Every structure is written in C-alpha cells, then in structure tokens.
Structure 1
Amino acid sequence: MKKILIPTDFSACAKSAEKYAMYLAKKMDAELVFLHIINTPIDWSKLTKEQENFFPETQSAIAEAKANLKELIKDAEELGISARKILVYNDGNKKIHKFVEDEHIDMIVMGSHGTYGFREHMLGSNTYGVLRRSSVPVVVIKENNKKMNLNTLVFATNFKEETGESFKAVEKMAESLGVKLKVLFVNTPTYFMETNDILSIGKEFLKEFGTYNHEIHIIDAFKEERGIIQFAEKIKADGVAVITFGKSDLMQYFSPSITENLIAMADFPVFSILKTKK
C-alpha cells in the first residue's frame, strides 16, 4: 500500500483521522493525499476573478481551506512523509470514489463521530457512504481515538466462502501494515454452532483462502459487535478489521451493518474491507 487518501473537513474528528493516517503512512512508507471538498453556490471553476468577488464568504472558505491543507502537508513533511493536496469545488461524496480510481489510492482514512440519528443514518454521512462503496480498505477513526500503535488487528469472520476473496485482501493489508492478525469467530445464539464445527469450517476456509497459519479464536456473545469488542479489549488489540457488505442507504437504515454498529459502539480504529468477488 503506497497511497493513502484522507478526506477532511478540518474538524476535531477529522484531525484524529489525519493524525492516524500520518502514523500509517510512516509505518508503510506511503504517500498521503489530503482531499477537501467545498460546496460552492455556483460552479466556481467557471468564474472569473472579478466574479469571485461577488461571493466573499466562499472566497474566505477557500482561502482558509488552502491554508489548512498547506499546514497538513507541512506537518506530514516534517515527519518525513510525502504528501499533497486536492481541493475540489462544488461536489459531493460520490466524487471520493473517482479520486480513489484516478489517484490509484490503496487506503482511505476517515474520521467519524460514530453516532446515529434518523437523518444521518437515512441519508448516509460521508464516512458511511464511502464504507458501503469503497473498493479499497477504509479505516474509520473516532474523535477520541487513543490507539496510535498498530501491532495487533482482530479480524472478525463467519468463514463463509463468499468472503474468501475479501479475506485475501485482509491478509494483504495486514502484511503491508506489518501487523498480527487475530482471526475471530463470534458464536451467537441466533447462529449457534458447536466449537468443533466452527474449528472444522474455519480450518477449511483458511486452507482455501489463507496464506499464513492463523489460530482460530472463538467467543460467545449475544451480538457479533459485542463479541468483537469484548475480544479486542481482552487481548488489548489495536484495531478491528471486518468485511462490509455494500447496501443502499435505505437498506442500511433498516439493517445497519456490523461495521457501522462497531463504529458507533467502539473507540478503537475500524478497518473496513468491502466484500469482493473473484
């Protein structure tokens, strides 16, 4: 992984993501790309300098954004990290995916307050929108994140064959980050299985899709999210990786994903990998 995208609005929440992204970039020797989107009242690229003067508030917002981006690049370069900026006028969330493709991005790091409300959940915030559609791993950082090391990463899985290709992506990501993967199966009352059956299915899954030898960890919990958090806290993990199943914003409202629930419930970094196909 050689290029990390950080969409930012310069908020306290975004600053946590920026700081964590710098840590990851240093760890992986990757380049940082800071992206800021300004919603302008008119197509700014078509205005002359004189016409821009009719929108002083927008001018001020653009000047402030440029200054903030310049400061971020300075902070990164002082740490020995290569960095650059992208400032986009009058666009929205879907544009982020265009930059992922055009810029050959390998990972996205975003901040999130991790709270739900009817409006935010129904419409989808920038972070949740990216989670559901991103073709590359997305790392979500909470504003109060205290995990600034990444040595152990819990990977929660159900060992279903349809997630096999995504597991390969998780292993590849872990290799790039130089972290230890702890493979976890959460045994819930709804989908209860006996331990020997879990181990048997898990071993077959890892044999087919895994590259490295992984110990299979099992925890019993009422809900997948609770089990993941409890296990991560027990072993003092530095983050959690999960496979996210892309859904429309409407479907997510009626059936929130485990990934989104984890973001809402946990304080540690959450690494999301969209389920992929062969």
Structure 2
Amino acid sequence: MKKILFPTDFSKTANNAFVYALEMAKFLEAELIVLHVYDLPPVSYEGYPSYVSEVYETIELNKFENFKDHVPLLRKIAEEHQLDSIKMSHVLEQGDLIQAIKKLVKSDKISLIVMGTNGASGWKETFLGSNAGSVIEKVPLISLTVPAKAKFDKIKKIAFTTRFKSKDRVALKQVIEFAKQVNAKVKCLYVKTFDSDVKESKIEKWRSDFKDEPVEFFVIAHDDVKETIYDFLKNQDIDMLSMLTYKRGFFEGLFDPSLTKKMSYHTEIPILALHEK
C-alpha cells in the first residue's frame, strides 16, 4: 500500500489541508501517516539539572496531551467528509521537522507529502520562509502544498508550465501519472515570448508523443509571462498548479506587487511541487 505523509501543527490551515490529504489517500488507495513534530526550547538553570529535567518532562507531557487531544478531531474531520475508512496512523516526534520528514520518507517509503501553507497569502508563504517552502526545497519528494483559502472540490484540471526542455518532459510524465490517479486532465502551457527559441517542430513532437495521454497543450504568444500564466489559470478554471522546484525563483517572481489583484484569485490553488529526476 502507498503511503502519504501529512505533517501538521493542528492549526486551521493544517486541518484544511488534511481534507486534501484524505482525498489523495482515497484516490491513491494509500495509508495516511499524520506527523506532528515539536522542539524543546533551551533551558538553562545552572546547578539544578533535576529542575531542567522536570521542565523538559513537563513540556513533553503537554505536547503528548495536545497531540492525543487532536487525534479525535482529525478523525471527526474524516467522518464529516465520509473518509473515515482511510487507514491512518499517527507519529509524534521531537526534533527538527525536516529531519523527521526525511526519516519517515525513507523508513516508510512515502509516495507523497501533503501539507498546508501558513498564513492567508498562499503562494507567497509556500516559497518564502515557511515550513512548506523548506520541505519543497530540502525533501526530494513530490509534495502537495495547500493554501489556507483552498477548499477541496474535484480535481479536474492541473496546470503545468513548460519551455519544452528535457527536464520538463520528465516532470510532465510525473504530472500525467498523478492526474490519472485523481481522474484529472493536464493543461500544459507554453508562453511564447518575442525572443522564443522553441521551434514549432519540437512543440508538435511533444503533442505527438503525448497524444494518447490526458494532456492538452496551449501555446500563447505574449511577452508578459507572469500575467499570461495568471490569466490562463483563471480562464481554464485550474484546480492545481504543478511545477518543478528548479523554477522556484521564477515562481517567486509571480509575487510582483503589480499583479496583486490577479494574484488574489490564485491564493486558493494548491501547488504540486516536483523534483528533477
């Protein structure tokens, strides 16, 4: 059975992403592993080691009680969405979040990580200094990050931007495989700028190579790449955006203040982050 890892801090944002994790587990016929990681603060009380020990024991006990109290809440969310049949296990770890995730990814052979993005600004938190951003950057596994405003509905359309590079071809195959599992179609977008060096023959070759797959190619001529992507996501009613992590810098550029109005719509779209293979 496949396994999905869901790191949580039990916040509203995390609970919202939990619904996506449950739905992914249903589609992938996977077990869901819920992970909560906490860290112990530095405590210094020179000459009283027993006091320090008592402080740590109290903190750990409180963390355990908090964890224990939240497990039934997650079960309730699963029941409310008729997903309580999903196999679920719970892990409480002390230490560093990234290291704990890497450890579980290796030991449990995790197939997918699902987690919420902090705050309400969606993509910005995904890439700039959040836990989700750290996971995308440091854990080489496909990850689904869910903004606080996202509300799960059927995933029917997944967008994938490309420049028809060899890395993009490998990533597109990953996206198509994922799309098949969730009964979605892939909308592959290429923004053709004035100085584009991609030949029409290459585009047609891709169309031919993927003609039997649930993917549709769009070539839009425009010099404003960012705005074209925003318009595409809205006009095509996209449910999820997939991207390669090597494009992280480019996607950070999508946070241009001049695009704030357009960006507000897309704070509800989850991001499927892929790693180069």
- Give the TM-score category using the shorter length: 0.7 to 0.9
* Equivalent residue, structure 1, for 2:100: 95
TM-score computed with the length of structure 2 as normaliser: 0.78
Deviation at 1:259, TM superposition (A): 6.9
Deviation at 1:137, TM superposition (A): 1.6
Quote the Cα distance in structure 1 between the aligned partners of 2:88 and 2:161. Answer: 32
Q: Deviations over 1:6-25 (max 9, x none)?
A: 11101121112111111222
Any residues of structure 2 matched to 1:187-202 within 5 Å, and which? 187-188=192-193, 191-192=195-196, 199-202=200-203
* Equivalent residue, structure 1, for 2:58: 56
Quote the Cα distance in structure 1 between the aligned partners of 2:200 and 2:72. Answer: 51
Alignment of 1:236 with 2:242, yes or no, is no
Are the equivalent residues in 1 in contact too, given 2:176–2:214 (CA < 8 A)? no
User: Out of 162, 167, 170, which is 2:172 matched to?
Assistant: 167
Structure 1 residues 198, 70: CA separation in 2 closer, same or farther (over 3 Å shift)?
farther
> Which residue identity is paired with 2:229?
I
Deviation at 1:155, TM superposition (A): 1.6
Deviation at 1:75, TM superposition (A): 4.1
Quote the Cα distance in structure 2 between the aligned partners of 1:23 and 1:260. Answer: 31
TM-score computed with the length of structure 1 as normaliser: 0.77
Quote the Cα distance in structure 2 between the aligned partners of 1:213 and 1:72. Answer: 34
Alignment of 1:125 with 2:130, yes or no, is yes
Find the residue that maps to 2:97 and give its secondary structure. Answer: coil
| Overall identity of the aligned pairs, in % | 26
Deviation at 1:200, TM superposition (A): 2.7
Quote the Cα distance in structure 2 between the aligned partners of 1:105 and 1:52. Answer: 36
Structure 1 residues 209, 273: CA separation in 2 closer, same or farther (over 3 Å shift)?
farther
Structure 1: unaligned runs, 5 residues or longer: 43-47, 247-251
Find the residue that maps to 1:148 and give its secondary structure. Answer: coil
Deviation at 1:260, TM superposition (A): 8.2
Aligned length: 255
* Equivalent residue, structure 2, for 1:45: none
Q: Deviations over 1:207-240 (max 9, x none)?
A: 5578626431123455544322311211212111
Structure 1 residues 198, 65: CA separation in 2 closer, same or farther (over 3 Å shift)?
farther
Deviation at 1:198, TM superposition (A): 5.5
Quote the Cα distance in structure 2 between the aligned partners of 1:164 and 1:64. Answer: 45
Find the residue that maps to 1:18 and give its secondary structure. Answer: helix
* Equivalent residue, structure 2, for 1:249: none
User: Out of 151, 157, 162, which is 2:162 matched to?
Assistant: 157
Quote the Cα distance in structure 2 between the aligned partners of 1:69 and 1:116. Answer: 29
Find the residue that maps to 1:241 and give its secondary structure. Answer: strand
Any residues of structure 2 matched to 1:1-278 within 5 Å, and which? 2-41=2-41, 51-52=53-54, 55-73=57-75, 75-76=77-78, 79-112=84-117, 113=119, 114=122, 116=124, 121=128, 124-188=129-193, 191-192=195-196, 199-207=200-208, 212=213, 214-245=215-246, 256-258=249-251, 261=254, 265=263, 266=266, 267-276=268-277
> Which residue identity is paired with 1:243?
L
> Which residue identity is paired with 1:64?
N
> Which residue identity is paired with 1:65?
F
Are the equivalent residues in 1 in contact too, given 2:15–2:74 (CA < 8 A)? no
Quote the Cα distance in structure 2 between the aligned partners of 1:7 and 1:260. Answer: 27
Query: In angstroms, what is the RMSD of aligned CA positions?
Result: 3.3
Structure 1 residues 12, 167: CA separation in 2 closer, same or farther (over 3 Å shift)?
same
Structure 1 residues 157, 34: CA separation in 2 closer, same or farther (over 3 Å shift)?
same
Quote the Cα distance in structure 1 between the aligned partners of 2:130 and 2:89. Answer: 25
Structure 2: unaligned runs, 5 residues or longer: 43-49
Structure 1 residues 54, 99: CA separation in 2 closer, same or farther (over 3 Å shift)?
closer
Are the equivalent residues in 1 in contact too, given 2:123–2:147 (CA < 8 A)? no
Quote the Cα distance in structure 2 between the aligned partners of 1:204 and 1:109. Answer: 34
Structure 1 residues 221, 38: CA separation in 2 closer, same or farther (over 3 Å shift)?
farther
